[in-house]
Structures are given as C-alpha cells and as structure tokens.
Amino acid sequence: MPPAEKLDDDPDGASPLISVPAVAKPADTERHAPPVALVIFGASGDLTARKILPSLAHLIERAALPEEFTVVGVARTELDDAGFQQLALDSVPGHSESWEKAVSRFRYVTGEYDDLSTFSTLTTVLDDVDHECGTRGNRLFYLATIPSKFAEVAEQLAAIGLNRPGPGGEFARLVIEKPFGRDLSTALTLNRALHACFPESEIYRIDHYLGKETVQNVLALRFANAIFEPVWNRRYVDHIQVTVAESIGVEHRGGFYETAGALRDIVQNHVMQVIGLVLMEPPAQVDGQSIRDEKVKLLRSIVIPDPADAESSSVRGQYEQGWVEGQQVAGYRGEEGVDPASATETYVALKLSVDNWRWAGVPVYVRTGKRLARRVTEVALQFRKVPHLAFADRLARELTPNFFVLKVQPEEGVSIRFGAKVPGQAFQVKTVSMDFSYHDAFPGETPDAYERLILDAMVGDPTLFIRADEVAQSWSIVDPILAAWSDEYATPVATYPAGTWGPTEADLLIQRDQRRWLVL
C-alpha cells in the first residue's frame, strides 16, 4: 500500500485530521520526442560530429527518442548512406547497441545548397523514411552550415514544398545556429528571408548557453524561492558583473574570428541572453511565450548607447604572446588565418545601464575574452554595504561585500559570499562562501546543452530559443558600440598578455565607479 499523504495538519503538531493514500503523479520533466526525421544541413561538418550526433546518441540511450526516428544528412561532401552511418558511429566512441540500431536507418544526400535537385532528392529520401521508419511526415531541419547559407537553404526548402509537413505530419521546423546576422541590418534581412519561408513559430534560433542547467536554474532560483526575489532589485543590489572567460585562443578559427570578434561572437548572443534571464521580471507562467516576452522587455530596458558615448563605456582588447597553464602561447596576430595588423578584439568590457523600475541606477559590467587566466562563466550580483559596520576596521579587514554568484561553467552551481566570525577570542569577521554544486547535489552526468535543446525543438518547446525580436533588440544595443569602434578616431585596440585577466583599461572602466572586478 502506498504511504499516506498528510493533509490539514493540526497547528499544535498533533496527528493529521485527514489521511488519504498518496497518488503518484506523472513527472512532466521526462519528455519524449514524437516521430520525426531530423535533417542536418552541414552533416559532414565539425558541429555535427562534435555536438549534434553525440547528443542524439545520449537521447536515444535515455529513451527520449522514439523508434520512429531517423537522421538525414545533407552536405557537399561526397558520401553515401554507409559513409554517413560510419561517421555517426565514429562520432560516439563506446556507443551502445541502441545507437548502432538507430544509425543503421540514417540516410545521406550529397549536393549543393543552391541546387534545387539536391532538395528534390531530399524530398524523395524523406518520403522513403516516412514509409520505412515511420517518421509520419514530421521534419526538423537543422542548419549547421556557415551563416551565409541560412537564407538560401530556407528558400530552397520552401521552393520544393518542404517548409510544410509531409503527408500526415504535424510540423516542419527550422533550427538555426548563431550568428544571426552581423549587425542589426543583416539580422533584420535574415529574419525577413526566413519569415518568407517559415512562420516564426516554427523557427528555433539556438544558443547553447540557454541549454546549460545553471542558466535554466535561474528561473527556479528566482521564482521558486522566497528568500531571493525580495532582494533581487536596486534597493539591495549595488551592481552586477557578467564574466565569460576562456583560456583557449581562437584555435583554428582565426579566419572566422577576423570577421566576428568578441562583441559579435559572445556579447550579442550569449551575454544578452543571460542578462535577460537574470534581470527580467517574473513571468506570468513558465512557458515559451511568457519567458521570452519578459526577456524582450528587459532587453528593451537596456539603455542603447549613443555612438559618441559608447567608446567611453567600452573597452576592446587583443591578446599578445604569454603563458597559459604553463605553456607559452602566441599572440592573436600570430594565429593561423589572422591579419598580422589585425584590430579585431578578442576581449570586451562594457558598462551597461538598465532603465526600469527594478534596476534603475544599478550598472551591469560585462567582460569576456580569450586567452584569459582560466575558463569561467559567472554572473555575480554584489549587494550594497550594510548602512553601519559596528566592528572596528581592524576586525573586518578581510570582510568584502556580499555576493550572489551564479556559476555557469566549468563547475555549475551557486555561491553566496557573506561575513562570518572567525573562531577565537577576538570578534574578527571575514568573508566566507556557501556553495551549491550541481555535481554534488545531483550526482551523475549532466546532460549536454545540445541534448536539451534538440529535444525541445522536436517536442516544440520554444522556451530556450531566441525569438526574432530578441535578436533585433540585442543588435540594437551592440550596433552603436561597433560604430564607435569603427570610427577612424576611435581609441586603438588595447593589448593584454595571454594568461592574464585582460587589459588594464578594463580595470579602469570599473574603477572609475569605485568598484572592482570580482576575484575569480
């Protein structure tokens, strides 16, 4: 017999007045994809092998995907079905029998993305897998190509009629990797091209940061706990710091990075999305529309800098030769594919302002860069000082302001820093940390962000994907900074040795406000 559930307990602690059998409720957290054919454009590329295929293997091992599922790869690389199937197996070392069984149904189409015959062949293959694998006309098109092909592929899909479900199908969705344009103008142009082919409700712009457990946990921390939300505002918070630091350089992506830079690569998407979740107002419901509505409202509250003032509230830097983890590394201009006279930024520091009731007067400081001292992504809220410190200065020398730190990577969790008495005869106070670790609290492997997001797209949950108006608003904030940096009279890009925390100019940016970067 199941245990009894207590109801209407006596306020004095006596036995419950009513006792009824507890009824097990089905968990809505374990979701399963419907029958679907996943079509990957760019199927022979690095993203497919490194992220998409391993994520699919894990979903299959967790029984989150149905038997009526398959993958159709599309790329210019000459492969047949057997070659693509072998690529899928090689992408998942130590794979399971269930992955081998699924891979045996995978198909492949070789062709150019601007050739309609490629899409005619794809149509035939999709009809075949509907019949052979039972995918029932449901299609999920994943654009893992270079960004210049996004609109082209969508237009070809629409021209051949693949922007609609197959016979008996319920959906035909488009998943797009970042970047979503290079600036506001190109982002709007891309959105118009996509909307001419697919409705916005079927377009899923993916940002893997939003799939990370700690980023999602912001919603639980803020809106499921009474102890945080009352102090999550300008009355108690002095300022906010967002850090996205990488110890690696541009690796073999020098050519790409020359066209992007840290502001486009990290700030416009990852940083703006995290800021939106951390600072937004409570949504009426935890669903895709409500959460994204609140994120857009928050982004619209960020003060768009005037190009004339943008340079004074921003710093751009570029790493030089230095030491990282005991290894000497080259400077950015010495990397493969980089212009020896490049002015592309590998580091950005910003001061942003939010003009709304909750956050007016609370600056948001952002720093992100490559070849920094270590890999870490954190969001830190520093609280205001107590109005009166009753201890003598010498007894509180090791006391620092209170911080709430959301740790995104590499160790996911939360840290709260506060003052506590040091054991001993003197009443000495110092800062200590109370830490919550995902790994310790929930042992086992944490699902990769792509696992969550791919399953969400299959299920049709848009909560963690980026809407068109979010993209446009993010670019509206970033564009004036890009314009200020492109001015011929702009301050030259600052430099910093690899293995440090960035240029001294970034320290001065925050020190002008009598603040300093959190020691990581």
* Interstrand relation of 364-369 and 237-245 (parallel, antiparallel or unpaired): parallel
**Length in residues, the chain:** 520
Give 434-493 as a DSSP string: EEEEHHHHS-SPPPPHHHHHHHHHHHT--TTSB-HHHHHHHHHHHHHHHHHHHSTTSPPP
Cα 433 to the center of its chain, rounded Å: 26
In angstroms, the CA 222 to CA 227 distance is 9
**What are the CA-CA distances from residue 306 to residues 85, 109, 311, 484, 486 (Å)?**
52, 49, 9, 9, 14
Active site residue 388: no
CA angle 386, 390, 391 (to 5 degrees): 110
Structure tokens at 473: 């608003």
Q: Which of 58, 95, 239, 270 is catalytic?
A: 270
Do residues 429 and 419 make contact, with C-beta atoms less than 8 angstroms apart? yes
Sign, CA dihedral 499-505-509-514, equals: positive
Cα dihedral across residues 123, 124, 125, 127: positive or negative: positive
Please answer whether residues 348 and 487 qualify as being in contact, where contact means their C-beta atoms are separated by less than 8 angstroms. Answer: no
DSSP secondary structure string for all residues of 489-520: TSPPPEEEETTBS--HHHHHHHHTTT--PPP-
Contact call for residues 295 and 282 (beta carbons, < 8 A): no
316 is written with which tokens?
Answer: 């751009």
The answer to whether the CB of 492 falls within 8 A of the CB of 481 is: no
* Residues forming the active site: 270
